[in-house]
Amino acid sequence: MTSMLEGKTALVTGGGNGIGRAAALAFAREGARVAVADYEAEAASATVALINQAGGQAISLSGDVTDAAQVKAIVDAAVAAYGRLDCAFNNAGIAPHQVDAAGLFTTDWSEASFDRMIAVNLKSVWLCLKYEIPVMQAQGGGAIVNTASIAGLIGLKNATAYVAAKHGMIGLTKTAAMEYAEDNVRVNAVCPGFIRTRMTAKTLEQREDQIAGRTPMGRVGNPEEIAEMVVWLCSDRASYVTGAAYAVDGGWTAM
């Protein structure tokens, strides 16, 4: 059986942990050369070490995806390393507890928390698209996946700016998909449910049984289960798929 991404190159933001790391490993397993970008340089290097141990090819890049110059530098470095950019997984993100907004309803969020959430979880994706798409247009095409969330499809209490950012990200995804379809650039979103990562560690410690009980499949998900959808969306097997937002959530949004 041939690998799904043989000969392709991929960029993963937030590739140092969780879903991004699992996706970087899956990209490499499927034959892609991978640029692993993360705010935490050591975490990105650790992902690269795992890829190399498994016989794949990868480089690590560091930078903050909320900063235009740093996003441009990340994209430029990925293209300089591998000559082209076939796949991009715009995945870096944070949860409400990472902007001091854990457990807060809409009116209790501070302006600073709201602004930071929108910068990291929404503006960053626009910046990535801004610098990735011209590279893909120039080379004749490419595939982009943005990490939204079930919070991009439905409301979630205590997560107002997170929900707003993820809904906005799906709007960005659909619009870019329409604008660049004729350039053979596909843009999609993946919408994870509750996935076992560093981001959700505390929440799962406190109420995994409740979350699993609300999920039709009766459990939380693993990062590798999101990575499979991302790899497929970036592959030529998804050649007619663009502007879509796929839930990978154990059935959470079916209820």
Question: Which residues of this protein are in contact with ligand NAD, per CB under 6 A?
Answer: 13-14, 16-20, 38-40, 43, 64-66, 91-94, 120, 147, 149, 192, 194-195, 197-200
Amino acid at 183: D
Classify residue 76 as left (phi > 0), alpha (psi -120 to 50) or beta: alpha
Catalytic residue among 39, 162, 180, 246: 162
The beta-strand segments (E) located in the chain are 9-13, 33-38, 58-62, 87-90, 142-147, 185-192, 245-248
- Pick between residue 66 and residue 113 the one whose CB is nearest to ligand NAD: 66
Give the tokens for residue 171.
């709007």
**Beta carbons within 8 Å of 141's beta carbon, 6+ residues apart:** 183, 184, 185, 186
Query: Which residue has tokens 């501070």?
Result: 110
Query: Which residue has tokens 């930071």?
Result: 116
- Pick between residue 43 and residue 104 the one whose CB is nearest to ligand NAD: 43
Q: Is 162 a catalytic residue?
A: yes
- Pick between residue 44 and residue 135 the one whose CB is nearest to ligand NAD: 44
Give the nearest distance from C-beta 27 to ligand NAD in angstroms: 15
Cα 33 from Cα 255, distance rounded (Å)? 39
Give the nearest distance from C-beta 101 to ligand NAD in angstroms: 14
DSSP annotation of 120: I
Residue 101 Cα distances to 97, 159, 163, 226, angstroms: 5, 8, 13, 26
- Pick between residue 55 and residue 231 the one whose CB is nearest to ligand NAD: 231
Give the nearest distance from C-beta 197 to ligand NAD in angstroms: 3
Phi then psi dihedrals of residue 245, to 5 deg:
-130, 105
Count the Cβ atoms, other than its own, within 10 Å of residue 156. 14
- Pick between residue 83 and residue 171 the one whose CB is nearest to ligand NAD: 171
Cα 50 from Cα 58, distance rounded (Å)? 9
Give the tokens for residue 229.
């959808």
Give the nearest distance from C-beta 140 to ligand NAD in angstroms: 28
Give the nearest distance from C-beta 38 to ligand NAD in angstroms: 5
| Catalytic residue IDs | 162
